[in-house]
Amino acid sequence: MTQISKDILNFVEEAKREFEAYPFLETYRNQNETLIALRTGEDRDCIAIYRLDGYVANFVQQMQPLPLKRFW
The H or E element containing residue 26 is none
- Residue-level pLDDT at 14: 98
Report the pLDDT value the prediction gives residue 1, as an integer from 0 to 100: 67
**Is residue 44 domain-resident?**
yes
| Domain with 41 in it | 6-59
Q: What is the pTM assigned to this prediction?
A: 0.76
What single DSSP character describes residue 39? E
Q: Report yes or no on 37 lying in a domain.
A: yes
Residue 67 clears pLDDT 80, i.e. is over it:
no
The whole-number pLDDT of residue 71 equals 65
* Number of domains, the chain: 1
Q: What is the pLDDT of residues 16-32, one digit of tens each?
A: 999 999 999 999 999 99
Position 29 in a domain:
yes
Does residue 17 lie within any of the structural domains? yes
Please report the sign of the dihedral spanned by the C-alpha atoms of residue 9, residue 14, residue 19, residue 25. Answer: negative
